[in-house]
Amino acid sequence: MSTESPREKIRKLARGKNGFGFCCSAMICMKREGTQATRELIRKHREEKDFERATKRSLKLTEEEREKQRADSKKGPVFSIAVPLYNTPEDFLREMVRSVCGQSWERWELLLADGSDDGINRESIVYEAVECDQSKMGRKEPSPPSHIRYRRLEENGGISRNSNAALEMAEGEYIVLLDHDDLLIPSALWEIGRAIRETGADFLYSDEAVFASPEPEKILEIHRKAEYNQEALLRSNYICHVTAFRRELLRRTGGFREEYDGSQDHDLFLRLTDAAEKVVHIPKALYFWRSHEGSVAGSIRAKDYAVDAGQRAVRDFLRERKGIKAEVVSSEECETIYEIRVTEDGGKNNGR
């Protein structure tokens, strides 16, 4: 039974992300900053709500939309979707696989590197979950569809080694990174393919939504990201997912590095974007990040080591790629937003 007083409950509602909370914020803004500032606050609020509604709608495609996008995929690149598995809960695995199989873009391959050690046969789970190949459904030992490759690893080598094992199977022109418990919206690959066709980008990333497991419609947050800026990326891995990049770019820069496990994506993205000819941000939430107990989306403290790894990734990138020696520490605002204090740069200041 709640011990909160009525006043405490009202205060909690006033600070919440709800209609009452926004009204309270608007009233405070009017009192402190005036009419113009309040109008701007209301405009931004409406824009965010419109974006959220569009994101929820993107979870389903009409047959007309799907057919149009499917036709487009016949003249675009093959996407290699790399997913490292480790003791992935069965329902999360099925939902992830189905989100890939439900893509309107038909030119893809799903690459699964499994380092699980809990004794569960995930290979059968994967193939039974492939709704785009109905003939494989329900068999205890289904034969694998040609566009899905599953590799059972001899041991769990950690996130970077397992991810590299998935990348080694890639044959497509572009790599797409997907976590084992997250989801792609049905048009994710089509949106990436369209952006590649229009811009020729060799590295792309999108906005993302955080949802309350197991219901994607229950959106907790939407991360609307900035256009590419290396200084901003040095301060924080704001890129995250969904991320796509040319396989050739990966070959030139190298894959994941085990010494940065916990912030291995940040380390990789710094190197890839630095080498890329064109980086493009797709201003749509193509990726749904599952929030559950133990996920980074749920709490950064689920992986405290990520902070240290992130600091080292930024420091080593500056030294190795830019010739800049710097101290990297967490800022007061957030552990995973870093402050960079250049100690020696030989006349270069691009690390600030």
Partners of 219 in the β-ladder? 211
pLDDT, position 298: 43
H or E segment at 338?
Answer: strand 338-344
pLDDT digits (tens, 9 = 90+) for 162-214: 999 999 999 999 999 999 999 999 999 999 999 999 999 999 999 999 999 99
pLDDT, position 35: 76
Tokens of 100: 């890939």
pLDDT, position 305: 83
Angle, vertex CA 270, rays to CA 223 and CA 292, nearest 5: 40
State the pairing for strand pair 148-152/108-114: parallel
Tokens of 297: 């989306």
Distance CA 117, CA 350 (A): 44
| Mean pLDDT in consecutive groups of 10 residues from the start of the chain, 352 residues | 61 57 61 68 66 91 95 93 97 95 95 95 89 46 70 94 98 97 98 97 98 93 96 96 97 96 96 98 97 56 77 97 95 92 66 40
Place of tokens 């040095």: 234
- The torsion defined by the Cα of 289, 168, 81 and 163, in degrees rounded to 10, comes to -10
pLDDT, position 42: 59
Partners of 183 in the β-ladder? 288
Q: Tell me the C-alpha to C-alpha distance, in Å, between residue 133 and each of 23, 43, 207.
A: 50, 46, 30
Distance CA 221, CA 289 (A): 10
